[in-house]
């Protein structure tokens, strides 16, 4: 009986084995290895040599590291609020089923489906100052038509602009969030004579608040990886480092310069920043009274 | 029920696919970079090799871009799975030689009955010696030349470049060939296309009598702030910033100079020999090559690539057999016929395989005439990073984002640490 | 009422047009004749229209091979993901409350870590076991169900399985594995399809893994093929766009087949009303637990345009 009960208790873990093993092998172990490599000089070939904090000192004095960090922060500051606002606006617009709502929702999600590489390429074309269709359109509207990807001041905003169309995930998540708000709340508000704006600020926004915060944190964290492909395909970090983001910096440090130690040191910092964000997030969520059942 | 069936089928499919492993055998891999037209040369080479040595199969791995090739190679070296034969430029093998990732080929060459060191141009062999040991066997002795569109010269009534033309002649021709054909205020045809990088600037520095680094054998800094080097850079940058005979940054981004040249909208394009197969295939106009214009002196820049054997290779003997074949008269003749290389074997370079007057470019001899004046960039384990960073700064100078002196000084300053950093 | 709806319809049409534009321009540019000088003004439809770019990309690169490789990798990735994620989700639904909560927290944390923080050492680990140049390297994330979200999606589905049914099956001598296969999975069709589609996009679109791991051209997938093409001639837009279209269409196809289910939260009309309510409640938790990807419901819209 005792052994049977124990096997019962252990059985669920059998089902979870691949997942837990995978997490161990693909996340925990790599993180641990980064932690070791970050303190060594390692060209990827031969043996790593322990060098203490030297890599971190190098990283600290490396101009490009700071450029990458600042660019990543600039990207986050521009892209995340705009993406969230965009997703929110669209979700509000299409939260109620209506005529052709399905078509509209599908259209909004469509750019998100385009593979990153193809998406980066098509934007390189759209933004091309001579061939692309964007600048003639801007000129027709009487707007300034910058050189986008070849202009240091506009390359980063150009990548932000491209990212604004891939907001399908946030859009769907906020649709779900809006569905979560009980109808009766709105009915009550209407009875009280609240106008649309009042309803929005008094009901929708507060109830959607946690979702918006979480979505933002997620977008911030993911921008550490989502900037790689556009930067790699569209600009290779240029012009003159204007789109040199952290992931590209790690990639180039490791595979161009073969300085795996330094790259691991940068990675470790990204990792730590992420962990901090996760912890903050976890506490926030708990503060909102998360309850499993 | 149906969903489960699909799931089951997928899993079964997976198992079958993962069970299919490639058959074992004496197979070597050979990794090259280049345009599709260049690839054809290597395909022919591999075919000829497999015919001569039926017991060895060669898998040709093709990476089109040089930057990707370099990352690919580094990643493979780290993974311990590099191709058995890799093509590496002399500016790039230093990092691999330093970390012992390459098998020295001197001893193999000494034992070869097919080729020996004295068969090769010494200018091509020397850069591949690391601590006095020959690491790789040079495939070519390419150098920078000016490709020019004869039709555009004819249309503009500009005489073709002479073999002893000077910077002034070159600039005059470029100016005459830069044209706004439809008078809309936008230049449609450019005189010059040239990459804004250290490897393009270097020959101008030498021609002005300057130096790129302090000591070629053991460099410790770039020396681009000498009066002569500044003069060279001034001239180089002025092509874009002052004379506008080269595309602006916007124009270059919209369509790069090589495409413009191939499409007949740039009159002169600076490239090494590697452009030939592509231009033969794609350029629908008469074209030829001219030597670099002269400054105070004549100088060219080496662009040699070599076949290297990674020490992680598990098929070293087969790989050497391939390298030996590729660098034999037969092998080099095949690749030379494609137009891809300036053969490093003296005999092949002087044979019709290279000098055939009926094959474009008619003036191939330019490449051989340059050899006595050829300079090489230093071999250093961090050279590629040095070159990249310096080029980023030169790029700013070329596109007028900073003045010449600032660009040069920043290039020197930012690269200094890479000369000494011990990795 | 009808008049007041007009502005909204106009806005909607404009937005629809805007979001379709990237794909439209991709297709339009892919039909342009290479080597032409820049157009004057906006070129909606190029003239002359040529299809030859599509033939050309298969000519200069083995795009057929890349397509096949992408399909194989995606198939393996999706199949493994469905298996491991549904197993893990089932296991999770069997756990006690505290263990489950810990696992949820762990999954949430895992979901938040960007690949960037791991890729280098993942590469080194795969290199040390000699598996870099292989399909295994590409589908490795499938071992852990590709994304913790997928596991959570299955978990929420399996949680709704009536415990009485499971108990009676146990009494009949069925093992848990049999229960998973015979009872749980058939009920999880929506989750299977959701995870199937999202993991399809995950593997089909993956650029970083093949870029890092693959050496042999015989294993290259489409994203690397696209990069190769770009490296060959980075301003040959028509060719690049043609290749982009070839890569995008399958993804759009899968999306088109399943988008209704993905984008419709039309709860009231869901056929199994009660169980849907459970999902409605779950939506918040699902989201709170950080959630990278999109929720998905197979929903039959019974009342059109309510």
A149-189 tens-digit pLDDT: 888 899 999 999 999 999 988 888 888 788 777 777 777 77
CA-based nearest residue to C127, from A30, B315, B101: A30
Residue B342's nearest CA partner among B86, B104, B128, B123 is: B123
Question: Which of A98, A179, A180 is facing C305, going by the closest CB pair?
Answer: A98
Residue C49 placed within a domain: no
Higher-confidence residue of B12 and B265: namely B265
- The pLDDT of residue C281 is 42
Q: What is the dihedral of CA C124, C130, C133, C138, to 10 degrees?
A: -70
A4 domain-assigned? no
The residue in chain A having the minimum alpha-carbon distance to the alpha carbon of residue C294 is A169
**pLDDT at position B8, please?**
54
**Chains linked to B by 3 or more Cβ pairs within 8 Å:** A, C
How many Å lie between the alpha carbon of A59 and the closest alpha carbon of chain C? 16
pLDDT of amino acid C260: 65
Banded pLDDT at A220 (limits 50, 70, 90): confident
The predicted pLDDT at position C138 comes to 92
Say which of B77, B254, B388 has its CB closest to residue A129.
B254
pLDDT above 70: residue A250: yes
Rounded Cα–Cα distance for residues A36 and A32 (Å): 7
Read off the tokens for B82: 């590099």
Q: What is the mean pLDDT of residues A67-79?
A: 92
Mean pLDDT value across chain C: 78
- Cβ-based contacts of C80 with chain B (< 8 Å): 11, 14
pLDDT of residue B421: 67
Q: Which domains does chain B have, with CATH numbers?
A: 28-142+303-368 (3.40.190.10), 145-302+377-420 (3.40.190.10)
Q: Does residue C293 sit within a domain?
A: no
Residue A53 in domain? no
Q: What's the confidence (pLDDT) of residue A28?
A: 87
Q: Flag whether pLDDT at B122 surpasses 60.
A: yes
Domain span at A181: 63-256+265-287
Among A103-107, B331-335, C45-49, C64-68, the least confident range: C45-49
- The per-residue pLDDT for C198 is 85
Is residue A152 domain-resident? yes
pLDDT, tens only, B297-320:
999 999 999 999 999 999 999 999
Whether A4 shows a pLDDT value over 70: the answer reads: no
CA separation for the pair B245, B267 (Å, rounded)? 10
DSSP 3-state of B130? strand
CA distance between the termini of chain C: 15
Cβ contact, residue pair B29, C216, below 8 Å = yes
Backbone angles phi, psi at C38, to 5 degrees: -60, 145
Contacts of A32 (CB under 8 A, 6+ apart): none
Name the domain count of chain C: 1
Mean pLDDT, residues A203-220 taken together: 80
Give tens-digit pLDDT for B44-79.
999 999 999 999 999 998 888 887 888 889 888 888
- Is B253's Cβ below 8 Å from some Cβ in A? yes
Residue B229 has pLDDT above 80, yes or no: yes
- pLDDT given at position C290: 33
Predicted local confidence at residue C176, as pLDDT: 82
Which ipTM was obtained for this model? 0.85
Could you tell me the pLDDT band of residue C153, with boundaries at 50, 70 and 90? confident
The yes-or-no verdict on residue C169 having pLDDT over 50 is: yes
Assign residue C234 the CATH number of its domain: 1.10.3720.10
Angle of helix A260-287 relative to helix A54-61, nearest 10 degrees, comes to 80
Q: Answer whether residue B18 shows pLDDT above 80.
A: no
In the predicted structure, residue C301 carries a pLDDT above the cut 60: no
Burial of C215 (0-12, 13-18, 19+ CB in 10 A): buried
Average pLDDT over residues C126-132: 86
pLDDT value of residue A6:
65
* Contact assignment for C263 to A175 by CB distance below 8 Å: yes
- Residue C304 is predicted with a pLDDT of 32
In terms of Cα–Cα distance, which of A257, B307, B75 is closest to C215?
B75
Distance from CA of B334 to the nearest CA of A (A): 32
- Report if residue C27 sits inside a domain: no
3-state secondary structure (DSSP) of residue B266: strand
Structure confidence at residue A195 (pLDDT): 79
Omega of the bond prior to C48 within 30 degrees of 0, cis?
yes
CB contact under 8 A, C222 and A34: no
CA angle A3, A17, B19 (to 5 degrees): 125
Whether C277 has a pLDDT exceeding 90, the answer reads no
- In this prediction, what percent of chain B has a pLDDT beyond 70? 93
pLDDT band at residue A282 under the 50/70/90 scheme? low
Query: In the predicted model, what is the mean pLDDT of chain B?
Result: 90
Residue A142 belongs to a domain: yes
Q: Does A293 map to a domain? A: no
Q: Would the pLDDT of B210 be above 60?
A: yes
pLDDT at position C299 over 60: no
**Contact between chains at C76 and B18 (C-beta distance less than 8 A):** yes
| Token digits of residue A161 | 């602009």
- Tell me the CA distances in angstroms from B82 to A169, A219, B310, one per residue in order: 39, 37, 7
Q: Which of B17, B79, B263 sits opposite C35 (nearest CB)?
A: B263
- Residue of A44, A214, A246 with shortest CB distance to C287: A214
Residue B333 φ/ψ, nearest 5 degrees: -65, -40
Q: What is the mean pLDDT of residues B124-152?
A: 95
- Give A200: exposed, middle or buried? Use CB within 10 Å, 0-12, 13-18, 19+: middle
Q: How close does chain C come to B185, measured CA to CA in Å?
A: 14
Q: What is the mean pLDDT of residues C69-74?
A: 95
Range of A5-9, B346-350, C127-131, C134-138 with top mean pLDDT = B346-350
Neighbours of B388 (CB within 10 A): 18
What is the count of structural domains for chain A? 1
Query: Does the bond joining A239 to the residue before it have cis omega, within 30 degrees of 0?
Result: yes
Residues of chain B whose beta carbon is less than 8 angstroms from a beta carbon of chain C are 1, 3-4, 7, 10-11, 13-14, 17-18, 29, 31, 35-36, 59, 61-65, 67-68, 72, 75-76, 78-83, 188, 254-256, 259, 262-263, 265
CB-nearest to B1 from C186, C228, C235 is: C186
Q: Which C-chain residues 277-306 have CB contacts (< 8 A) with chain A?
A: 280, 283-285, 287-288, 290-295, 301, 305-306
Is residue C196 a part of any domain in this protein? yes
| A133–chain B Cβ distance below 8 A for any pair | no
Which residues in chain B have Cβ-Cβ distances shorter than 8 Å to C83?
Answer: 7, 11
Q: By residue range, what is the domain housing residue C193?
A: 71-288
User: Which residues are B8's β-sheet partners?
Assistant: none
CATH number, position A104: 1.10.3720.10
Confidence of residue B288 (pLDDT cuts 50, 70, 90): very high
CA nearest A7 in C: which residue? C176
pLDDT at A193 (0 to 100): 78
- How far is A155 from A152, CA to CA, in rounded Å? 6
Q: Does C120 touch chain A (CB under 8 A)?
A: yes
pLDDT at C297: 32
- Interface check for C106 against chain A (CB to CB < 8 A): the answer is yes
Which one has a higher pLDDT value, C149 or B177? Answer: B177
| Residue C194, in any domain of the structure | yes
| B5 — pLDDT class (breaks 50, 70, 90) | low
Rounded average pLDDT over B285-289:
96
Q: Does A271 score more than 50 pLDDT?
A: yes
Q: Within the 1-60 window of chain A, which residues sit less than 8 Å (CB to CB) from chain C?
A: 11-16, 18-19, 21-23, 25-27, 29-31, 33-34, 37, 44
């Amino acid at each position: 009986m005792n052994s049977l009960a124990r096997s019962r208790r252990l059985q669920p873990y059998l089902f979870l084995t691949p997942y837990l093993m995978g997490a161990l092998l693909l996340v925990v172990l790599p993180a641990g290895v980064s932690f070791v490599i970050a303190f060594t000089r390692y060209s990827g070939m031969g043996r790593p040599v322990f060098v203490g904090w030297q890599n971190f000192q190098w990283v600290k004095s490396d101009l490009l590291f700071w450029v990458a960090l600042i660019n990543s922060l600039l990207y986050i500051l521009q892209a995340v609020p705009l993406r969230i606002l965009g997703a929110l606006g669209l979700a509000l617009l299409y939260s109620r089923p209506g005529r052709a709502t399905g078509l509209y929702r599908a259209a909004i999600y469509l750019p998100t489906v385009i593979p990153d590489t193809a998406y980066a390429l098509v934007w390189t074309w759209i933004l091309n100052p001579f061939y692309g269709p964007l600048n003639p359109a801007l000129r027709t509207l009487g707007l300034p038509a910058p050189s986008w990807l070849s202009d240091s001041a506009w390359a980063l905003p150009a990548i932000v602009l491209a990212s604004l169309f891939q907001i399908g995930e946030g859009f769907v998540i906020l649709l779900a969030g809006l569905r979560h708000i009980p109808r009766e709340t709105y009915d009550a508000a209407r009875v009280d004579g609240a106008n649309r704006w009042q309803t929005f600020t008094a009901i929708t926004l507060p109830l959607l608040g946690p979702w918006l915060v979480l979505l933002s944190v997620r977008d911030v964290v993911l921008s550490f990886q989502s900037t790689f492909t556009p930067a790699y395909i569209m600009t290779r970090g240029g012009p003159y480092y204007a789109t040199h983001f952290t992931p590209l910096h790690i990639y180039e440090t490791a595979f161009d310069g073969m300085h795996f130690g330094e790259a691991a040191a940068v990675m470790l910092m990204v990792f730590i920043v992420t962990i901090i964000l996760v912890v903050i997030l976890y506490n926030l969520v708990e503060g909102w009274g998360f309850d499993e059942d | 029920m149906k969903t489960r069936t699909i799931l089951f089928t997928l899993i079964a499919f997976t198992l079958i696919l993962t069970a299919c492993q490639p058959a074992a055998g004496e197979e070597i891999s050979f990794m090259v970079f280049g345009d599709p037209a260049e690839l054809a040369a290597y395909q022919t080479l591999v075919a000829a090799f497999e015919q001569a040595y039926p017991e060895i199969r060669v898998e040709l791995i093709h990476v089109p871009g040089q930057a990707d090739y370099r990352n690919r190679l580094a990643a493979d070296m780290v993974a311990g799975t590099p191709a058995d034969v890799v093509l590496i430029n002399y500016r790039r093998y230093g990092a691999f030689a330093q970390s012992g990732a390459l098998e020295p080929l001197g001893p193999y060459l000494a034992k070869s009955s097919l080729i020996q060191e004295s068969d090769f141009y010494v200018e091509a062999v020397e850069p591949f010696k690391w601590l006095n040991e020959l690491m790789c066997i040079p495939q070519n002795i390419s150098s920078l030349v000016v490709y020019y569109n004869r039709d555009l010269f004819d249309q503009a009534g500009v005489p073709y470049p002479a073999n002893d033309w000077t910077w002034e002649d070159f600039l005059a021709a470029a100016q005459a060939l830069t044209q706004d054909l439809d008078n809309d205020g936008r230049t449609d045809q450019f005189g010059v296309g040239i990459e804004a990088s250290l490897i393009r600037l270097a020959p101008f520095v030498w021609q002005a009598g300057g130096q790129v680094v302090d000591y070629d054998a053991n460099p410790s800094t770039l020396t681009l702030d000498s009066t002569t080097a500044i003069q060279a850079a001034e001239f180089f940058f002025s092509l874009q910033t002052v004379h506008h005979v080269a595309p602006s940054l916007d124009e270059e981004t919209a369509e790069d100079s090589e495409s413009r040249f191939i499409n007949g909208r740039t009159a002169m394009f600076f490239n090494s020999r590697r452009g030939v197969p592509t231009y033969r295939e794609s350029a629908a106009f008469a074209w030829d090559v001219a030597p670099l214009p002269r400054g105070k002196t004549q100088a060219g820049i080496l662009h040699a690539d070599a076949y290297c054997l990674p020490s992680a290779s598990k098929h070293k003997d087969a790989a050497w057999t391939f390298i030996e074949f590729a660098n034999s008269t037969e092998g080099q003749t095949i690749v030379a016929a494609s137009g891809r290389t300036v053969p490093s074997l003296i005999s092949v370079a002087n044979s019709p395989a290279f000098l055939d007057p009926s094959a474009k470019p008619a003036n191939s001899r330019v490449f051989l005439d340059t050899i006595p004046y050829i300079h090489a960039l230093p071999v250093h384990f961090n050279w590629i990073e040095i070159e990249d960073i310096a080029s980023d700064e030169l790029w700013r100078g070329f596109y007028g984002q900073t003045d010449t002196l600032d660009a040069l000084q920043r290039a020197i300053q930012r690269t200094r640490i890479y000369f000494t950093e011990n990795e | 009422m009808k008049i007041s709806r007009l502005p909204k319809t106009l806005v909607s049409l404009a937005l629809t047009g805007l979001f379709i534009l990237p794909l439209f321009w991709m297709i339009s540019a892919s039909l342009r004749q290479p080597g032409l000088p820049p157009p004057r003004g906006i070129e909606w439809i190029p003239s002359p229209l040529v299809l030859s770019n599509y033939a050309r990309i298969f000519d200069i690169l083995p795009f057929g091979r890349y397509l096949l490789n992408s399909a194989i990798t995606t198939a393996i990735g999706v199949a493994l993901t469905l298996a491991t994620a549904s197993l893990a989700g089932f296991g999770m639904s069997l756990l006690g409350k505290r263990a489950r909560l810990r696992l949820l927290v762990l999954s949430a944390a895992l979901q938040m870590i960007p690949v960037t923080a791991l890729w280098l050492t993942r590469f080194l680990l795969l290199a040390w076991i000699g598996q870099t140049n292989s399909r295994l390297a590409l589908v490795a994330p499938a071992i852990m169900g590709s994304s913790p979200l997928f596991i959570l999606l299955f978990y929420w589905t399996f949680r709704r399985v009536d415990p009485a049914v499971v108990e009676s099956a146990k009494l009949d001598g069925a093992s848990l594995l049999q229960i998973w296969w015979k009872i749980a999975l058939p009920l999880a069709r929506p989750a299977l399809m959701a995870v199937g589609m999202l993991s399809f996009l995950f593997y089909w679109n993956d650029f970083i893994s093949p870029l890092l791991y693959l050496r042999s051209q015989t294993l290259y997938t489409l994203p690397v093929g696209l990069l190769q093409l770009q490296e060959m001639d980075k301003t040959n837009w028509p060719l690049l766009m043609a290749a982009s279209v070839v890569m995008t269409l399958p993804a759009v196809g899968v999306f088109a087949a399943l988008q209704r289910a993905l984008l419709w939260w039309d709860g009231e009309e869901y056929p199994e009303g009660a169980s849907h309510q459970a999902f409605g409640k779950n939506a918040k938790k699902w989201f709170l637990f950080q959630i990278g990807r999109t929720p998905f419901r197979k929903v039959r819209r019974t009342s059109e345009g309510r």
